[in-house]
């Protein structure tokens, strides 16, 4: 199978998106683990138990969220950067760069059809995550809860895509597309 050439624009956008997504995943991971509000509240509670002071559970949670906020601000910053990057990515085909590949093209082999189809699903899911994220912040209060319910599901497709994508790329590298990894990093040398 012929290996594609990845232009500088393609590579810059690809790796900018990849880095942002990994950092975004780290913020989600921290929120679910070490910086989980219940964990932090428990740490504060345990400390207060060794002193003569006490706080209600609600106060502990407010304090825990305040401690977590500077970390979580990065989730929002990365969300804004990703919105910009994906907007650029969706506009690039207009100038002939990073064109979308049609998964239904007859001449493609099954693996390529599957790969292109996965990218389309991924883009659909990303648009949903970004728009629900923006609506949580800037949308009307009445839809906030339903937007949150959809937004929190993002982690599932993101993990599934990353595992599939990295395994797919490695499989290509070690079978019929040797050099694909170095091409997406340093281009067509």
Binding site for ligand HEM (CB under 6 A): 4, 14, 17-18, 21-22, 98, 115, 119, 122, 162, 165-166, 169, 180-181, 184
CA distance 127 to 122: 9
Contacts of residues 59-62 at CB distance under 8 Å and 24 or more positions apart, as own/partner, are 61/37
Q: How far is the CB of 69 from ligand HEM (least distance, A)?
A: 25
Q: How far is the CB of 68 from ligand HEM (least distance, A)?
A: 23
CA distance 35 to 72: 9
| CB nearer to ligand HEM: pick between 41 and 115 | 115
Question: Cα 71–146–117 angle (5° rounding)?
Answer: 85
The answer to whether the beta carbons of residues 12 and 63 sit under 8 Å apart is: no
Helix locations, the chain, DSSP H: 8-32, 37-49, 57-91, 110-138, 144-151, 154-174, 180-186
Q: Which helix (H) or strand (E) holds 102?
A: none
3-state secondary structure of 108: coil
The answer to whether the beta carbons of residues 44 and 57 sit under 8 Å apart is: no
Q: How many CB atoms lie within 10 A of CB 41?
A: 21
Q: How far is the CB of 108 from ligand HEM (least distance, A)?
A: 11
| CB nearer to ligand HEM: pick between 98 and 130 | 98
Q: How far is the CB of 121 from ligand HEM (least distance, A)?
A: 10
| CB nearer to ligand HEM: pick between 121 and 137 | 121
Q: How far is the CB of 110 from ligand HEM (least distance, A)?
A: 14
């Amino acid at each position: 199978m012929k290996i594609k050439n990845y232009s500088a624009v393609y590579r810059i956008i690809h790796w900018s998106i990849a880095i942002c997504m990994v950092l975004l995943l780290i913020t989600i991971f921290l929120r679910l683990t070490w910086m989980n509000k219940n964990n932090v509240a428990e740490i504060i509670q345990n400390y207060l138990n060794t002193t003569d002071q006490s706080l209600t559970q609600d106060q502990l949670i407010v304090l825990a969220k305040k401690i977590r906020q500077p970390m979580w601000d990065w989730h929002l910053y990365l969300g804004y950067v990703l919105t910009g990057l994906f907007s650029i990515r969706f506009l690039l085909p207009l100038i002939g760069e990073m064109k979308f590949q049609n998964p239904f093209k007859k001449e493609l082999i099954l693996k390529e059809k599957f790969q292109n189809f996965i990218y389309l699903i991924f883009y659909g899911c990303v648009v949903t995550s970004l728009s629900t994220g923006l609506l949580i912040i800037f949308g009307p209060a009445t839809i906030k809860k339903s937007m949150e319910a959809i937004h929190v599901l993002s982690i599932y497709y993101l993990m599934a895509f990353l595992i599939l994508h990295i395994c797919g790329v490695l499989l290509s590298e070690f079978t019929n597309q040797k050099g694909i990894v170095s091409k997406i990093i340093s281009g067509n040398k």
